[in-house]
Amino acid sequence: HVFPAAQLHGPLSPIDPQCQSCAHIPARVLEAVPGTDCKLVSHLLSDVIPPGACNLLNSSTVYANNEVNLAEVDIYGFDYDYTLALYSNALHSMIYNTARDFLIEHFKYPEGIRKYDYIPNFAVRGLHYDIQKGLLMKIDAFHYIEPGTVYRGMSPVPDEEVLQLYGGTYHVPLQQDSGFYGKGPKVKQFMDIFSIPEMTLLAATNDFFITSGIEYDPVHLFKDVSEAIGMVHLKGYMYKWVMKDLDKFIQRGEETAAVLHRLVSQGKKLFLITNSPFSFVDKGMTHMVGKEWRDFFDVVIVQADKPHFFTDCIKPFRRLDGNGDLRWEKINSLDKGQIYKQGNLFDFLRLSGWRGSRVLYFGDHLYSDLADLMLRHGWRTAAIVPELEQETKVVSTKRYALSLTWLQALTGLMERLQTHRDPASKVVFEEWHNEREELMVMTKNLFNPQFGSLFRTCHNPTYFSRRLCRFSDVYMASLSCLLNYDLSYTFYPRRTPLQHEAPLWMDQLCTGCMKTPFLEEMSHIR
């Protein structure tokens, strides 16, 4: 036992709010050892942190779910939005504000909704939305709702009420949950980065009707908000905003240019498949790479209509001329320097001959970009997850390491103590249980006060995280992470121990350390 049970009874020791050691330790940990200086407790807690734990996680690491040898990859494919082009958060507030105005002006929603401004850090990607109940929530890999992460409007729903709403369980049945592409009959999963403004608008609109005492149908509200968000994209507002101020909205363009230069210089073939229109892609790529950006790509396909591009074999390819106008001749080959529209993957594979693990495709949407390519066609897939940058910063803090270590230690103590049935042990167990609940909330709040980490609940991976592992061979914060590795590098997934195994090698405790030094290509960029 880290702290003997006998020491957990007695007067609580005072906590010094000015003490830097106290600032990194949960209050109840400091209270656990009566009469002990808080700095000593901090030292004791630090001693139980596993020796292999690393607080120097590097957000520029490429993380491997599956073994990938880049020497075997000849062809690199890319999505455009949030893959080649990363956007600033300013875009989210503009999408939110415009869709909110559509609700009021086009759908005739009450003017009072306009008072709800965009909240940048309210939602995280990968959340589920119960369409009929109007609830936004986080679900883990086993289809269980994480307690404390259910919101009706802008207000949390008590755990007791959640249990009542779902028949005495936190479990969401498979038949109600999201389908293969995240769109179930009753529950939708929000998987792309553009969905963050939509989740916030759903919460704000629900909140207005609830606080105003106005009866409404949550199903119709969901459809109206979805349509309002869709109008922002269909009417081209987002494209106009970005093209009008490329410096404001597009980030790390020079890093994208460096990646493309490096791949082409080493003889790799490149292609682009995006749902965005050519004029928008051309403007952005010219800004990031230069007027001759098309010289980098062997095939360029716009307005592809993914995920249908990967699953249907209906739409033929059409070529665009130099002015972006549609040509109607039959496409018998995919030629470099040309721009193609629509099409389908089956014709793409037939005309290009690019198949199997020779191809590595990068995208940000796990369903629309990656799932079919991995499961049906055997391509290698790479997920772009910009949130990794912030999440690794949190995981690297001393506060997180201490809180998580104490949480794990406390869980181990509870596991042992539960076999003792005497009254004193039961009292201590209940105290530890309450303390553990506080620690779980504390670690969750370090990421996001409402929904916690994108990647995990307390113990389990999130539904998003499980999908990330299932549909991507590797994942990274941005395309520029590739610049840290030689193109003959092999990414090896860490052999993390299963529940019935013991860690036998230090790498199993330290899965995110960046052991490959930055290559010269990054030195002038970073």
**Active centre residues (catalytic):** 79, 81
Task: Tell me whether residue 507 is annotated as binding.
Answer: no
The phi-psi region of residue 34 (left if phi > 0; otherwise alpha if psi is between -120 and 50; otherwise beta) is: beta
Q: How far apart are CA 292 and CA 72, in angstroms?
A: 28
| CA dihedral angle for residue 294, residue 297, residue 298, residue 300, rounded to 10 degrees | -70
Task: Tell me whether residue 79 is annotated as binding.
Answer: yes
φ/ψ of 222, rounded to 5, equals -60, -45
Q: How far apart are CA 479 and CA 85, in angstroms?
A: 9
Residue 16 CA from chain centroid, whole number: 37
Task: Tell me whether residue 364 is annotated as binding.
Answer: yes
| CA dihedral angle for residue 462, residue 465, residue 469, residue 475, rounded to 10 degrees | -170
Residue closest to 397 by CA, chosen among 123, 139, 24? 24
Residue 417 has, within 13 A of its CA and on its CB side, a CA count of 24
Q: Give the residue carrying structure tokens 């990274």.
A: 476
HEC letters along 45-103: HHHCCCCCCCCCCCCCCCEECCCEEHHHCCEEEECCECCCEEECCHHHHHHHHHHHHHH
Q: How far apart are CA 526 and CA 518, in angstroms?
A: 10
Q: How far apart are CA 474 and CA 493, in angstroms?
A: 9
> Vertex 101, ends 125 and 198: CA angle to 5°?
10
Q: How far apart are CA 345 and CA 273, in angstroms?
A: 10
Contact 125, 464 (CB under 8 A): yes
The secondary structure of residue 460, as a DSSP letter, is S
Q: How far apart are CA 281 and CA 85, in angstroms?
A: 9
- Binding region: 79, 81, 364
- Binding region for Mg(2+): 79, 364
- Binding region for GMP: 81
